[in-house]
Structure 1
Amino acid sequence: MLLGSTNSWFPITLSALAIPQMKDPLSQLIRDGWEYFVDLESEADVSVAVKMLKKTGALLGIDKYEPTAIWSAIEVHRSGKGQEVVGEADIKGPEWDVLTEANPPTDYPHFMSKKVATPLGFQSRISRVILLERLREVNALLGFTRVEAPEESADPKERPPMANLSRSDPDWVPANQVHGEGIFIQFDEQALIAWESLDAVKKVDQMMRGGHEGWRNSRHLNPDEGYPGIRYAMLHTLSHLLIRELALECGYNAASIRERIYADTSSKRAQAGILIYTAAADSDGTLGGLVDLGKPENLGRLLALALNRSKICSSDPLCSEHDPEKDRSLHGAACHACCLVAETSCERGNRYLDRSLLVSTLQWADAAYLKGI
């Protein structure tokens, strides 16, 4: 292995969606384009700034508001009212809150959503589907690990030892933003609670946890930390199956489709959802091929195809009989033939996967969340 070889250095990144965090569109525009307003000293300066923004095409939509309203919003933002700091470990919390609102935002420049019907036949398991016709993602590079690729995590406690970007603690890190589209699927909480109480699910959970503890022990890490839970494993597996199926029809290759899993059950509002999206560095974003497949008639068909393909793997029975607890691994019935995707697509490095949590397999018949659908 060479000292500077690219396969011995792995980046640790942190990503977040640019979501509306203010109660009205004007306040959100001021927040997004604060660098244009920070030096304004009076209401008279607002008109000049808005004319400049209109000519350059920056901060679309700001010209719809009167200078008086814009100045009032600037003063509110400057005073710090209505702003809250989001911790690194809870970076998905605000995203979940916005995505699960009764009426998600539809007219923000970087967040345009559309509610659609739940696919026929999946109403008892899926409670909501939202098409994100436009979204923006920001990615920041925090540091590097050596030799072993890290799992992507917003919680600093779950990260391995990191090689810093500089000798001293930096007060900024390199970041980039991309624009794209996505499909958000929210699952029925009561159906999930009933599923989690099944004996077969508890047994699979025990095996997954055993594999997790063995994996961390072998690397001298705290075995009691970092386990995402059986709910996460199920949602994560379904996300992978959908990515593989969507890539066949959406026009984007599988490596360009990414996932965000919402499975935190520790907060007051338990999470249960997945966001599958693609994005490009171009300011115009992507072409809509992914969003079109989120329509009820298309999504239902793709879900059925994905589940049907996962029932039997070409590596069965070896794949379905895999016990993560015995070999201290982080996946159950999952392999390259059925569940794994490109590492650029997965937020956990192809870990915590088990298709027996979705469909009946040769080894487990009663742990499937989508059994009989």
Structure 2
Amino acid sequence: MRACPAGHLDDVDWKGIINHSQQNCSPPYLLWRGSGALKNITVECPVCRGNINLGEAYSRSWSCSGRFPEREATDTRPFRPGCQEESRIIQRGAANLRIPEIATVLVIPQCDSNLHRLLQIKVIYHVLLSREDTFGENIKNELLKILEKFVQRKELEKETLNAIASYDEEEIRKAVSHIVNLNIPRTAYDMRRDEFRALLHAAENGHPPEPPRRPGEVPNFEVQQRQVRFPVPWGRLQFRVTPISRLRVVMVQHAYRRIPAGQIVAATPVSTVFELPAAPGQKWHIGSELSGEGVFLDLNLTVNPQNTPNLGGRAAQSWWSAWNKPDDYPVRGLISVDRHQFHPLFVWWHTLAHRIINALSLDSGYSSAAIRERIFLDVDERTGHASGGLLLYTAQPGGDGTLGGLIALVPEFERVLERALHTLDTCSNDPLCGEEEFGRDRYNGAACYACALVSETSCEHRNMSLDRKLLLEGLA
């Protein structure tokens, strides 16, 4: 295939890449000579005997056709408007031909009941926002009368109306208040910070605050406070380990990138948002909703503010430089528009998460590819001081993710930390791995497949922003 960093993809223009010896030569077929390595293969024109070495073609830039095959209907001819970017030939099965941009969000604990989910249906949500100040004392009847009109116009299912009607006045009033006063985050960092604060609150107080009132109704997010463990010591640090017995995760793909020939800086996201013909103006994303379990780790700074990693070592200084001046680092465009992924505390928690994932896979009953991470950071922009934590969870379709294998390890989490960290200072690829340092043209510090990298299905950050030496310095 040929691809360009603007996201275009097309077949190789085989006739066009050959240096024909005759003008306007257009052969009905081409000859493929040789096999094995690309440099041993020649593509030849049977008419004029012009040819090109495939290894040479692979290493050169070519004009881009501007084609987006994903946007073409199956019964239409390919549309090739052209593009100013240069394309490169790339193998059809290469991973960098389509790198998805995926957003993952957790359920917001304060709005995790079935009633909340019904009231957040688009039609109902717009009614609540537009008529918030006009509802009287009997909000249930007023809301049902309004929604009945949408049912008559077939814009709302009758079953949805009946489900809302089954709740009493006080339940509906509380749920409406939660939804209309909900502060919707504007950035991915704000969203993740809100999740972090909600997890800290759940670790301190448990969740939900009261048991479900209806038979068969279970919370989408559940933490039993009596099962939370603190302290779980490792060296001078004391971890708080919070088992999350119920967890709901929504995953959405909003874009993808193509990175031919390592053109990382030039690669631009291509939106995957689409509209349905039956609902013009409504934008849709490809997504899935999964349930599972998880373990949340933090340092419980409210009890001991000094219970923090040491981020003053040599390895941390290079990451501090990147956090202070992110625009000086070309890799920022691929890592994230959020500069906080350069923050040393983010790198510390991220590297720790990868080590624990590999340790958990030995005892939990899940493979390391089934355990996912979520790194949290709450940063003071003025000083750079931050608090952080990590969530390791399983959320898969079917049975994987609901077996309780993660939370069952919380009572003996010291053993998990021992297995994750006792060989942190060595790697089978040392001294090559240990001598690596983070810099302007690198994604990681000391990190390789033998010591810190995990499956791409587990890491939200594509195995970037990792540094084993920084983690080791932080534990000292």
Structure-2-length-normalised TM-score: 0.60
User: For the aligned residues, what is the CA RMSD?
Assistant: 4.3
More displaced 10-residue stretch of structure 1: 245-254 or 226-235: 226-235
Q: Shift of residue 112 of structure 1?
A: 0.8
- Residue matched to 1:153: none
Kindly provide the amino acid, as one letter, of the partner of residue 70 in structure 1.
Answer: E
**Does residue 272 of the first structure (1) align with residue 388 of the second (2)?**
yes
**Does residue 341 of the first structure (1) align with residue 341 of the second (2)?**
no
- 8 Å CA contact 2:241, 2:296 repeated in 1: yes
Kindly provide the amino acid, as one letter, of the partner of residue 197 in structure 2.
Answer: D
- Decide which of 400, 403, 410 is 1:287's aligned counterpart: 403
CA deviations over 1:306-326 (Å, ceiling 9, x no partner): 11132210011111111222x
- Residue matched to 2:207: 105
**Matched residues in 2 for 1:358 and 1:331: separation?**
12
**Does residue 237 of the first structure (1) align with residue 237 of the second (2)?**
no
- Residue matched to 1:21: 110
CA 1:184–1:123 in 2, change beyond 3 Å: closer, same or farther? Answer: farther
**Does residue 121 of the first structure (1) align with residue 206 of the second (2)?**
no
**Matched residues in 2 for 1:100 and 1:253: separation?**
27
- Residue matched to 2:269: 162
Q: Shift of residue 167 of structure 1?
A: 7.9
Q: Shift of residue 278 of structure 1?
A: 0.7
- Decide which of 278, 301, 307 is 2:421's aligned counterpart: 307
Q: Shift of residue 204 of structure 1?
A: 4.7
Kindly provide the amino acid, as one letter, of the partner of residue 103 in structure 2.
Answer: L
Kindly provide the amino acid, as one letter, of the partner of residue 165 in structure 1.
Answer: T
Higher strand share: 2
**Does residue 32 of the first structure (1) align with residue 117 of the second (2)?**
yes
CA 1:100–1:160 in 2, change beyond 3 Å: closer, same or farther? Answer: farther
More displaced 10-residue stretch of structure 1: 244-253 or 259-268: 259-268
CA 1:136–1:313 in 2, change beyond 3 Å: closer, same or farther? Answer: same
**Matched residues in 1 for 2:246 and 2:283: separation?**
31
**Matched residues in 1 for 2:347 and 2:260: separation?**
22
CA 1:207–1:320 in 2, change beyond 3 Å: closer, same or farther? Answer: farther
- Residue matched to 1:205: 319
Work out the percentage of aligned pairs sharing the same amino acid.
29
Which stretches in structure 1 are left out of the alignment for 5+ residues? 47-51, 151-157, 360-367
CA deviations over 1:53-102 (Å, ceiling 9, x no partner): 9x9xx99xx97x6x23234346646xx64322222331112211211113
Partner secondary structure for residue 403 of structure 2: coil
**Matched residues in 2 for 1:111 and 1:247: separation?**
23
Partner secondary structure for residue 323 of structure 1: coil
Q: Shift of residue 276 of structure 1?
A: 0.5
- Residue matched to 2:194: 94
**Matched residues in 2 for 1:284 and 1:222: separation?**
30
Partner secondary structure for residue 144 of structure 1: strand
More displaced 10-residue stretch of structure 1: 103-112 or 91-100: 103-112
- Residue matched to 1:195: 310
- 8 Å CA contact 2:244, 2:294 repeated in 1: yes
**Matched residues in 1 for 2:407 and 2:261: separation?**
31
CA 1:200–1:147 in 2, change beyond 3 Å: closer, same or farther? Answer: closer
**Does residue 259 of the first structure (1) align with residue 373 of the second (2)?**
yes
CA deviations over 1:229-268 (Å, ceiling 9, x no partner): 1111111000000001111111111111110101231379
More displaced 10-residue stretch of structure 1: 167-176 or 111-120: 167-176
- For these two proteins, the number of residue pairs brought into alignment is 337
**Matched residues in 1 for 2:106 and 2:325: separation?**
32
**Matched residues in 2 for 1:232 and 1:118: separation?**
22
- 8 Å CA contact 2:231, 2:239 repeated in 1: no
Partner secondary structure for residue 194 of structure 2: helix
- 8 Å CA contact 2:274, 2:283 repeated in 1: no
